[in-house]
Amino acid sequence: MLKGMKIANFAIISFAVTAPMAHVLELPNKFDLDGPLWLSVQQQLYRGWGALFGPVEILALLTTLFLVWMRRANPAAFRASLVAALAYAAMLGVFFVFNAPVNSAFNSWTVADMPANWPDFRWRWEIGHAIAAGLSLVGWLALLRASFADRKPAAKLI
């Protein structure tokens, strides 16, 4: 059962890292966009991403928590899985602190009524995704470490 869950989890976490990493890779070019074009990108290009990637990020957390429980007898794998679970939980928290408020704000904007401080919203949105990308990489690497720790026999007590 552990092997099957590890495979499913690895597929999910690999998918979960794609959206925040895509945002980080786009970051330098998006800062060159003027307000109207940035707003258009936000409202058109990213439409539907939340419905797709939100559940994937939640599944990443849930499957990782299940692996934490399954690895409780292997201290090294348990610790690495716990680090990953904390990273995925923090990733979701970052979304609600940084990105969700910005999404709510600019969803109702038009080019004509964009606030003068729209670059502040852009910064907050991009920083949230950059932090999420870092956390998703921490989670991915921690689970890779846990997988290697699964291969080592647990230390025997004498």
Q: Is 32 exposed, middle or buried (0-12, 13-18, 19+ CB in 10 A)?
A: exposed
Close Cβ partners of 21 (under 8 Å, ≥ 6 residues apart): 133, 136, 137
pLDDT value at position 132?
96
pLDDT value at position 102?
94
CA distance linking residue 69 with residue 64, whole number of Å: 9
Stretch 13-32: mean pLDDT: 92
CB 99 within 8 A of CB 128: yes
Backbone angles phi, psi at 98, to 5 degrees: -100, -55
pLDDT value at position 1?
78
* CA-closest candidate to residue 22, choices 143, 136, 140: 136
Q: Which two tokens stand for residue 58?
A: 């939640």
Q: How confident is the model at residue 154 (pLDDT cuts 50, 70, 90)?
A: low
Percentage of the chain exceeding pLDDT 90: 79
Output the average pLDDT for the chain: 92
Over the stretch 49-105, which tens digit does the pLDDT of each residue have?
A: 878 888 999 999 999 999 999 999 999 999 999 999 999 999 999 999 999 999 999
Stretch 102-127: mean pLDDT: 94
CB 92 within 8 A of CB 135: no
Q: What is the largest CA-CA distance in the chain?
A: 74
CA distance linking residue 95 with residue 127, whole number of Å: 10
